[in-house]
Amino acid sequence: MIELIRTNDAVIISFVESLMRDAGIGCFVADQNMSVLDGSLGILPRRVMVDADQADAARRILTDAGIANEIRGK
């Protein structure tokens, strides 16, 4: 799996998960439980991961949705 985005913004993470689900692209939110360590302050970013073979399609979807600035490793 590769990192698609890394952010502290729960709304963006939810939006990306929804976009991937609608497109039939499996994704995984890594570091989701790290908020326990930072006291739910949102200091530690979470990462949305996708399979490497679906990364290009996932990037296109984020670009079409207007959040290309969130994409990691462009």
pLDDT tens digits, 22-73: 999 999 999 877 766 665 566 788 999 999 999 999 999 999 999 999 998 7
- Cα 29 from Cα 4, distance rounded (Å): 10
Q: What is the mean pLDDT of residues 12-18?
A: 96
Q: How many CA atoms lie within 13 A of 47 on its CB side?
A: 10
Tokens of 38: 């930072």
Q: pTM score, two decimals?
A: 0.85
In this predicted structure, what is the pLDDT of residue 26? 96
- The residue ranking higher by pLDDT, 21 or 31, is 21
In this predicted structure, what is the pLDDT of residue 35? 60
Class of CATH domain 2-70: alpha beta
The DSSP secondary-structure symbol of 4 reads: E
Domain positions in the chain: 2-70
